[in-house]
Structure 1
């Protein structure tokens, strides 16, 4: 059986870590694509990871290139290409620049990897994944945005930090857009089956929610240059592995809704089943009136960003 092929569009911080994780897990051979000006850098990362193989024992093949034809036949395409956030920059500030980049990327993916499952990561996510879908013409099950997986992981991490309990036992979900209008469903959060409300006060839970909503900005400020890369890479590979191994994972993802949660024609964070068919199903939770109101608010924010992109 031939090996799977993973194309990473963008060889920056996230792209490099993705290449390492995919290689160590032997999920497939990896091609890292970036602009000609930094081709040496992505070739270097591919070679560097290859030279680590004797230590970890993987036989994955890697290459770095600026030639999109090298992604031909890719099973998964992960797009991190774009300008990263800098201190004082909002996701909306990134829109004009990253919209041009995603248009170029979408046309090349459409030409060279027309059957791939595509995970979009570039910000502002809700508009960029919409733009990729529109430009590429890919079916909705083969285009998804990575946002909710990361936001949910951050929610889990902060709950574990506050309670002092194992993150493995924390269960929760974040829906909605990727940004301050995201919707953490606190009533469903639990640790080892114990409702979060029985472990923490409302004030502490509210503080956790606020931190989750501002987590990206917190890291931008701490790093001083660029934004998060370790945690996004882990979230992305969880999604890619769900597809490549047909795991039927339920992962909060920016999927195209067509009636689910009263949303039509927009990508927004929802519980999605990811398997060999891509986004195989969107699970509909029974939301409270307050939660549905928050979903409606985040939808308006997504519509605004998409509208500003002229899509």
Structure 2
């Protein structure tokens, strides 16, 4: 049984994440955390969740706080706070806006909950994961980001629809940036355990169209309802369940890699990792030549932005 804290719990993603996480049987305490001045909203949200729990017979305890010391004892701290992406805005454009906030939150978590797993959702998630790793002072396996897990699930759904099979029959991954330079691993994609290249439907497979749908899914949702909520919330809950349950599942999250994938690394980016109670362990994998090239470009893009953002943060800290 574990304590899960959600920082940014009053936002759209934070609220639904709280509900989704509450269905996990390993969660005994849920802490809704927000900035000072949000106490009444947090109190109302806690009340609402208590009613939901009563209806479901859930015994988990819901608390709320704006006091950093209350982070103590957290097993997982999920960070959903930050400036949300606007319609037509690239995730990278958000980097400088959200970096200062993430650096402060990470330092707070590193001080009050150093044994927790710090789980970053704020965009651009790969860059923010790197910022959190640096400023929390925590070990690399203890700091992860949502990465391309949601993108991989979006691809999975599109493939299930195309091949007309149950979604559980599709196994696929997207690695790299959670953004425009993401890389689908067609070489590791199967339907019913069979490589898609060995299926007759693959002859007319609309690869580019499907990837367009996946890459633009977030923007399509934001343009219609203002924010992505349910997809991210349930993707987050899946990762939390995997960690608290010590399930050792392989999910595609943002984590620090050095040389696991064809000696490409030194960056936080979406990669397959084994998740358990100790955090994330990146897997060493071999992928196709085209995929290596795409991954290398994605890494270079994320590394460049990460270095720029961290240099700016360091300058602002020294200038205080």
**1:241 matched residue in structure 2:** 241
Deviation beyond 4 Å, 4+ runs, structure 1: none
1:162 and 1:100 map into 2 onto residues whose CA distance is 42
- What secondary structure, in the 3-state scheme, does the structure 2 residue paired with 1:144 have? strand
**2:111 matched residue in structure 1:** 111
TM-score (norm 1): 0.94
1:202 and 1:296 map into 2 onto residues whose CA distance is 28
1:113 shift after superposition: 0.6
Q: Is the 8 A contact 1:95 1:124 kept in 2?
A: yes
Matches within 5 A, 1:2-81: 3-11=1-9, 12-28=11-27, 29-81=29-81
1:195 shift after superposition: 2.9
**1:150 matched residue in structure 2:** 150
TM-score (norm 2): 0.91
Q: How many residues align?
A: 306
1:40 and 1:138 map into 2 onto residues whose CA distance is 32
Q: Is the 8 A contact 1:144 1:254 kept in 2?
A: yes
| Unmatched tracts of structure 1, length 5 or more | none
The one of 205, 213, 231 aligned to 2:215: 213
**1:166 matched residue in structure 2:** 166
1:24 and 1:203 map into 2 onto residues whose CA distance is 37
Relative to structure 1, the CA distance from residue 160 to residue 203 in structure 2 (aligned partners, 3 Å threshold; closer, same or farther) is closer
Q: What CA RMSD, in Å, does the superposition of the two structures yield over aligned residues?
A: 1.5
Q: Is the 8 A contact 1:13 1:229 kept in 2?
A: yes
Q: Is the 8 A contact 1:179 1:214 kept in 2?
A: no
- What secondary structure, in the 3-state scheme, does the structure 2 residue paired with 1:235 have? helix
2:221 and 2:133 map into 1 onto residues whose CA distance is 29
**1:266 matched residue in structure 2:** 267
**1:125 matched residue in structure 2:** 125
Relative to structure 1, the CA distance from residue 200 to residue 44 in structure 2 (aligned partners, 3 Å threshold; closer, same or farther) is farther
Moved more, 176-185 or 62-71: 62-71
1:208 and 1:94 map into 2 onto residues whose CA distance is 26
